[in-house]
Amino acid sequence: MSNSYNSPDKLRQKREEMVRYHLERRGISDPRVLEAFRSIPREKFVPEARRNRAYDDCALPIGEGQTISQPYIVALMTQQLKVEAGLKVLEIGTGSGYQTAILAKIGAEIFTVEMSKSLTNLARQRLENLGLADQVKFKVGDGTRGWEEEAPFDRIIVTAAAPKIPLPLEEQLADGGRMVIPVGSRRSQTMTVVIKKGPGNFERHKNISCVFVPLVGVFGWDG
């Protein structure tokens, strides 16, 4: 990455262009979401060799077969989740920690689960460097099982593709809570919003097509 790209002014410009062209023009309007995207340095969440593409509207590999999702998809999921300060949020798939940071910046209390210990450690360090780690609890394990001892959750966000909605996540969602999860095949999914109206009573709304890495676990792929 060149010195000109590394400069704070250039990075701020790139972040603002990302918000203006990739988010606002595509319907992201929640001011809390937009402010979080303006504040969180996405270049800190991608490998050094790919930081010149940190503000491109595309997914980027982060190692171990995982990716950091494109900014628009992260913003869309966050907006659909209707996150507010103080809400208790379960995130399945910590990955790079970028989505975690966006949620924490809005003011939510985050419980994030990741199967990879090394990715968890990297994400924890990034959140600590940004002063956001105090709002986040990390767990290494099978995200399809949720985090039962910390349930219920006001919001659940799943950043990997599920063949179907994992039953433990439905059970751990609070009444009146919302879940955003990509559901479908390994190659193509539909973003799905789940609203829990009461025990065993769910509304499901499908919207855009998307492509995520598989959600692996007992209640996901290869379970």
Contact 42, 15 (CB under 8 A): yes
Residue 109: enclosing H or E segment and its boundaries? Answer: strand 109-114
Contact 218, 142 (CB under 8 A): yes
Question: Please, which residues bridge with residue 137 across strands?
Answer: 111
**DSSP per residue over 42-104, as a string?**
GGGGS-GGGGGGTTSSS-EEEETTEEEPPHHHHHHHHHHHT--TT-EEEEE--TTSHHHHHHH
Candidate list 4, 7, 29, 69, residue with the active-site label: 69
Query: Which amino acid is residue 163, in one-letter code?
Result: P
Question: Please, which residues bridge with residue 52 across strands?
Answer: none
Structure tokens, 156: 């659940």
- Catalytic residue check, 69: yes
Catalytic residue numbers, as ranges: 69
